[in-house]
């Protein structure tokens, strides 16, 4: 079995660029949040919105960007869920429209098998642009992993929050909206409304009992 996670708003309890924008004052933070929310709701072209946000933050120092990235809060319950799934023999992949500066640490901290994300470009230690390798169709990024490991649609679970994640639903027969926007809520197989990923553990036990190794679980890992 394979679980595909979005990152910001799912594995991380934060949206990186709005937090980064705080360095430039409240007006800039509001500008970045406005563009971010439009992208999450699917109201603007996702790639164009990403470029706009990064352009608006040009000049931020790398050290500041890195420090903020390393201190973003991991979503409550994420470590428990990922640990449970790994002990159960599942594969874990994350795909993010965000950046390696925030995602690289999650491979170790959450025991992920693979993570796909974009890369911020710094020149002379100042933010200059973005190299986009994960597009608005995130399914294109993870499809090779699915094919290489031979997973069928019934063996893939997707956990996301935003409209820009919806194409991932095509890869899975069981989809989870995690504190989702309305369009994801309508299309997901199951919805979690609390910011606690550990709430998915009993859901997975109930639905995929025959796909989980027999380990002890009594509300925690």
Range of the domain at 132: 2-13+74-211
What pTM did the predictor assign? 0.90
Does 8 share its domain with 20? no
Does 171 share its domain with 101? yes
Q: Give every strand in the sheet of 174-178, ordered side by side.
A: 126-131, 114-123, 91-99, 2-5, 156-160, 174-178, 190-192
**Maximum separation of any 2 CA atoms in the chain, in Å:** 53
Structural domain contains residue 146:
yes
Instruction: Give the span between the Cα atoms of 65 and 146, in whole angstroms.
Output: 32
Structural domain contains residue 143:
yes
Say how many domains are in the chain: 2
Scored b (16 or more CB within 10 A) or e, 19-50 reads bbbeeeeeebbebbbebbbbbbebebebbebb
Per-residue pLDDT in tens (0 to 9) along the chain, 221 residues: 999 999 999 999 998 999 999 999 999 899 998 988 888 787 888 888 899 999 999 999 999 999 999 999 999 999 999 999 999 999 999 999 999 999 999 999 999 999 999 999 999 999 999 999 998 899 999 999 999 999 999 999 999 999 889 999 999 999 999 999 999 999 999 999 999 999 999 999 999 988 876 555 544 43
How many residues are listed for the chain in this entry? Answer: 221
Does 120 share its domain with 154? yes
Tell me the two tokens of residue 200: 């998915």
Q: Calculate the alpha carbon distances from 47 to 35, 44, 182, 202 in Å.
A: 11, 9, 21, 36
Confirm if 129 and 54 have CB atoms less than 8 A apart.
yes
């Amino acid at each position: 079995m394979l679980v595909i996670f979005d990152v910001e708003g799912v594995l991380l309890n934060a949206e990186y660029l709005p937090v980064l924008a705080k360095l430039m004052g409240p007006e800039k933070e509001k500008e970045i949040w406005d563009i971010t929310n439009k992208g999450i709701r699917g109201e603007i072209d996702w790639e164009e919105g990403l470029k706009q946000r990064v352009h608006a933050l040009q000049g931020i120092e790398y050290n500041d960007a890195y420090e903020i990235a390393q201190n973003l809060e991991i979503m409550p319950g994420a470590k428990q869920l990922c640990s449970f799934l790994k002990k159960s023999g599942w594969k874990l992949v994350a795909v993010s429209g965000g950046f390696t500066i925030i995602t690289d640490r999650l491979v170790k901290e959450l025991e992920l098998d693979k993570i796909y994300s974009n890369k911020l470009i710094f020149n002379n230690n100042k933010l200059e642009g973005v190299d986009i390798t994960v597009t608005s169709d995130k399914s294109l990024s993870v499809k090779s992993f699915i094919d290489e490991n031979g997973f069928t649609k019934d063996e893939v679970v997707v956990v996301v929050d935003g409209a820009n994640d919806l194409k991932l639903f095509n890869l899975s027969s069981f989809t989870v909206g995690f504190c989702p926007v309305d369009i994801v809520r309508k299309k997901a197989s199951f919805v979690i409304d609390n910011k606690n990923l550990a709430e998915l553990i009993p859901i997975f036990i109930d639905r995929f009992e025959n796909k989980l190794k027999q380990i002890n679980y009594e509300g925690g890992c």
